[in-house]
A and B are shown apart, each in its own frame.
Chain A
């Protein structure tokens, strides 16, 4: 009796301990090959810095981003104000730092919304096929037929202009890309024999889809998600630029850019710095996404 108990716990320990060990080893291996890609490292560093800034924004910003100082308006960059001041005398550097929270939040949340619905639609469509597939894919085609920003504009004009609605709008227009990628991968994956084996075991469809197929098609989803973040941030900034997103006095980059438009000749720095900030983060996400694709999903490389 005693002997059995000892044996029992013994095997269990072996299973548990080395299981996490192997996962960790895989992750390290992936990181190593990612570090070999210089552009990806560069992109990753940019993204990392942005996230760091967003996290510690209140402590990093030298001035209150909302404090109006009309005596010092439209000052060019100086030692006091690294990026100058805007038309209401607010420190642009501080506003960009605090604004990073808004832009990253909009990007991440809208991509999560898009990925969530896109993955479910893609899985269902690819796995069940037949009329359900036709139905979902036609719906996706309809979404794709709209130019992205136009669709987002339409959604926001219906819901009203604020940042939450920007997230919803950008999320909805991210659904098609995710749905298509997931559907394609699911179609390939469901033909694998291990899916048949688990079906023969009597697994439910939900289990097959989420425990077996989804983890195997995660790579293209992660890659797409990273690339999509860039588009989402850009679109959100675009919407704010058009006045459909963040409302003043929120320090959203797109809104700041739009504001700077009026002083493009007299004080070009008001528009330049938010513009550069947006360009840099979009580039960062794209470089990182391309690097991740090379590591995670070599087949997708063209």
Chain B
């Protein structure tokens, strides 16, 4: 997937100035006294057929971004253009019609399947909601879906608790596929699995992407996984995008000090190769009162007086690479 070509195409998903503030209620009247700024004014695009990964540590707003696009939570502000339609402006009813194009795979394979329904029933449910199909057609499609994700069609009669984590995740993928989506949001889709199973699931996702020309928005904190699956990578810190670019650019020529620190945390298998590890000082500041200026300045090794005052905007750093840092090299 060449990304220079991608940038000339129409984006499938265009997120503009997305903000998601959660109110903190207090006082007798339980009025909002303050807000958790989980996602604070981010804009990005996802092109058809690519995999864009969002990375960052816990609480940086990556999952919230996914949930906002799905409208599982209504964002505070911004717009989400999907296939030319503004999802945030749609009524509940119209949104329902668009939903089949955007599906989601969740992190916890134990919580994401209804424990009272058989696997067949779970997949059928998707077909009942989305497509008008005869029961016979549905059973056939369920068997087909199971085969596509590498499970045996007979498994349709079993309950989720009879499966391992990896198998359940496959069921979750089958459910997402049932809708014939264009975009799949993978919210930490492999984080809860063993490393060997992770690889299988990632390969399955890649295979399906090729077969159905799917687009993935891949949310993860695991850089190894991200390196394996992405075309482009977006790094988030405290509700802001700090850097976005092609996988190669981000992993080989990171420009933001936070990205560098993140990458230096990947263990190096070759012991002879000496690697400099950047240890960040302190903790992530609270998203309720984020630091002024650049949000990273409290922990940044390059921090100066200016960083505390000026909030850096995402600026072009060659090609598709964008960085939000005053001192980006």
Contacts and interface: CB of A to CB of B under 8 A. Distances in A.
B142 interface: yes
A198 B157 contact: no
Nearest to B178: A201
Given A11-B143, A12-B139, A14-B154, A216 B115 contact: yes
B103 A202 contact: no
A14 B118 CA distance: 13
Contacts of A194: 111-114
A79 interface: no
A67 interface: no
A200 B103 contact: yes
B157 A11 contact: no
A200 B112 contact: no
Interface in A1-28: 7-8, 11-12, 14-15, 17-19, 21-22
Given A11-B140, A12-B136, A202-B97, A197 B153 contact: no
Given A197-B106, A201-B103, A202-B130, 5 more contacts: A17-B157, A192-B111, A192-B112, A198-B114, A201-B126
Contacts, number: 93
Which 9 residue pairs of A and B lie closest in terms of their CB atoms, listed nearest first?
A: A202-B99, A18-B157, A193-B112, A202-B96, A12-B139, A11-B143, A193-B111, A193-B106, A215-B116
B129 A197 contact: no
A200 B70 contact: yes
Interface of A: 7-8, 11-12, 14-15, 17-19, 21-22, 192-194, 196-204, 207, 211-212, 215-216
A201 B129 contact: yes
A201 B107 CA distance: 17
B157 A22 contact: yes
A196 B63 CA distance: 13
Contacts of A197: 104, 106, 112, 172, 175
B22 to A, nearest CB: 14
B129 A19 contact: no
Contacts of B156: 11, 14-15
A19 B67 CA distance: 33
Nearest to A218: B116
Nearest to B100: A202
16 contacts: A8-B140, A11-B139, A11-B142, A12-B135, A14-B157, A18-B157, A21-B157, A22-B118, A22-B158, A192-B111, A201-B129, A201-B130, A201-B179, A202-B97, A204-B96, A215-B116
A15 B142 contact: yes
Contact of A200 (B102, B111, B116): B102
